[in-house]
Amino acid sequence: MRANQRQGAASWGGVIKLDSTTAFSVPDSKGFRVNPGHSPQTKGHFLDSGRRRGTRTRTRRRTRMDNGSFSTGDTELDQAVEQWLQYDKNLKTASMVRDLVKEGAVEALKKCFSSRMEFGTAGLRAAMGPGTSCMNELTIIQTTQGFCCYLEDSFENLKEQGVVIGYDARAHPPSGGSSKLFASLAAAVFISRGVPVHLFSDITPTPFVPFTVSHLGLCAGIMVTASHNPKQDNGYKVYWENGAQIVSPHDKGISKAIEENLEPWPQSWNAEEALKSPLLKDPYQEIHTQYFKAIQKHCHHRDINKSSEVKIVHTSVHGVGHTFVQSAFKAFDLHPPYAVEEQKDPDPEFPTVKYPNPEEGEGVLTLSFALAEREGASVVLANDPDADRLAMAEKQESGQWRVFTGNELGALLGWWMFRCWKQQNSDAGAVKNLYMLSSTVSSKILRAIALKEGFHFEETLTGFKWMGNRARDLLDQGKTVLFAFEEAIGYMCSPSVLDKDGVSAAAIAGEMVSYLATKNTGLSQQLTSVYEEYGYHISKNSYFICHDQDVIRTLFERLRNHGGQKDSYPVECGRFAISNVRDLTTGYDDNQPDKKAVLPTSSSSQMPKIKYYTELCAAPGNSDVAHLRKELDDLVDAIIENFFEPKKNKLQPKPE
Mind listing the pLDDT tens digit for each residue in 408-428? Answer: 999 999 999 999 999 999 898
Same domain? For 414 and 433 the reply is: yes
Whether 402 is in a domain gets the answer yes
**Above 70 in pLDDT, residue 60?**
no
Is the Cβ–Cβ distance between 134 and 90 less than 8 Å? no
Question: Could you give the CA distance from residue 297 to residue 317 in angstroms, rounded to a whole number?
Answer: 28
Residue 36 preceded by cis peptide, ω within 30 = no
Domain span at 591:
2-38+547-653
Whether 65 is in a domain gets the answer no
39-53, 311-325, 603-617: the lowest-pLDDT one: 39-53
**Above 80 in pLDDT, residue 405?**
yes
- Averaged pLDDT for residues 7-16: 40
Is the Cβ–Cβ distance between 643 and 569 less than 8 Å? no
Same domain? For 339 and 463 the reply is: yes
Tell me the per-residue pLDDT of 179-193, one tens digit each, with 9 for 90 and over.
999 999 999 999 999
Distances (CA, A) of 523 to 134, 149, 415: 43, 49, 12
Question: Could you give the CA distance from residue 390 to residue 272 in angstroms, rounded to a whole number?
Answer: 36
Question: Could you give the CA distance from residue 96 to residue 98 in angstroms, rounded to a whole number?
Answer: 6
Question: What is the pLDDT at residue 37?
Answer: 42
Rama region for 31: left / alpha / beta (φ>0; ψ in -120 to 50; rest): beta
Percent of the chain whose predicted confidence (pLDDT) is above 70: 88
Start-to-end CA distance of the chain, whole Å, equals 28
Whether 53 is in a domain gets the answer no
- pLDDT band of residue 361 (cuts 50, 70, 90) is confident
For residue 514, the SS3 value is helix
Q: What values do phi and psi take at 382, rounded to 5?
A: -140, 130
**Above 60 in pLDDT, residue 38?**
no
Whether 378 is in a domain gets the answer yes
Same domain? For 293 and 436 the reply is: yes
Question: Could you give the CA distance from residue 167 to residue 182 in angstroms, rounded to a whole number?
Answer: 8
| Total domain count, the chain | 3
Is the Cβ–Cβ distance between 389 and 383 less than 8 Å? yes
Same domain? For 342 and 474 the reply is: yes
- Averaged pLDDT for residues 284-298: 98
Is the Cβ–Cβ distance between 44 and 127 less than 8 Å? yes
CA angle 34, 633, 22 (to 5 degrees): 5
Question: What is the pLDDT at residue 66?
Answer: 40
Same domain? For 424 and 447 the reply is: yes
Same domain? For 360 and 401 the reply is: yes
Same domain? For 278 and 300 the reply is: no
Last residue of a domain, one of 238, 267, 282: 282
Last residue of a domain, one of 509, 539, 569: 539
Question: What is the pLDDT at residue 600?
Answer: 67
Q: Taking Cα atoms as reference points, which of 186, 209, 196, 211 lies closest to residue 281?
A: 196
- pLDDT band of residue 539 (cuts 50, 70, 90) is very high
What is the length of the chain?
656
Secondary element (H or E) of residue 368:
helix 362-375
Question: What is the pLDDT at residue 5?
Answer: 53
- pLDDT band of residue 287 (cuts 50, 70, 90) is very high
Last residue of a domain, one of 260, 282, 304: 282
Same domain? For 532 and 591 the reply is: no
How far is residue 162 CA from its own chain's centroid?
26
317-321, 430-434, 437-441, 581-585: the lowest-pLDDT one: 581-585
Q: What values do phi and psi take at 518, rounded to 5?
A: -70, -15
Whether 94 is in a domain gets the answer no
Contacts of 635 (CB under 8 A, 6+ apart): 3, 14, 32, 34, 573, 574, 576, 614, 616
Whether 562 is in a domain gets the answer yes
How far is residue 524 CA from its own chain's centroid?
26
Q: Please give the biggest Cα pair distance in the chain.
A: 81
Same domain? For 474 and 510 the reply is: yes
Question: Could you give the CA distance from residue 638 to residue 634 in angstroms, rounded to a whole number?
Answer: 6
For residue 611, the SS3 value is strand
- Averaged pLDDT for residues 140-149: 99
- pLDDT band of residue 563 (cuts 50, 70, 90) is confident
Question: What is the pLDDT at residue 20?
Answer: 38
Is the Cβ–Cβ distance between 98 and 85 less than 8 Å? yes
Kindly give the pairing relationship between strand 401-403 and strand 379-383: unpaired
**Above 80 in pLDDT, residue 315?**
yes
Whether 580 is in a domain gets the answer yes
**Above 70 in pLDDT, residue 220?**
yes
Q: What is the pTM of this model?
A: 0.89
Question: What is the pLDDT at residue 1?
Answer: 62
**Above 50 in pLDDT, residue 26?**
no
**Above 80 in pLDDT, residue 328?**
yes
- pLDDT band of residue 3 (cuts 50, 70, 90) is low
Active site residues: 227
Question: What is the pLDDT at residue 49?
Answer: 31
Whether 106 is in a domain gets the answer no
- pLDDT band of residue 601 (cuts 50, 70, 90) is low
- Averaged pLDDT for residues 442-454: 98
Contacts of 20 (CB under 8 A, 6+ apart): 35, 36, 37, 38, 39, 441, 462, 602, 604, 605, 611
- Which CATH number characterizes residue 293's domain? 3.40.120.10
Question: What is the pLDDT at residue 602?
Answer: 55
Question: Could you give the CA distance from residue 512 to residue 218 in angstroms, rounded to a whole number?
Answer: 34
Beta strands in 196-249 (DSSP E): 197-199, 220-224, 233-239
Same domain? For 251 and 375 the reply is: no
Same domain? For 588 and 533 the reply is: no
Is the Cβ–Cβ distance between 332 and 181 less than 8 Å? no
Same domain? For 448 and 498 the reply is: yes
Q: Taking Cα atoms as reference points, which of 48, 124, 45, 140 lies closest to residue 92?
A: 48
Tell me the per-residue pLDDT of 85-108, one tens digit each, with 9 for 90 and over.
999 999 999 999 999 999 999 999
Is the Cβ–Cβ distance between 337 and 312 less than 8 Å? yes
Is the Cβ–Cβ distance between 41 and 607 less than 8 Å? yes
**Above 70 in pLDDT, residue 534?**
yes
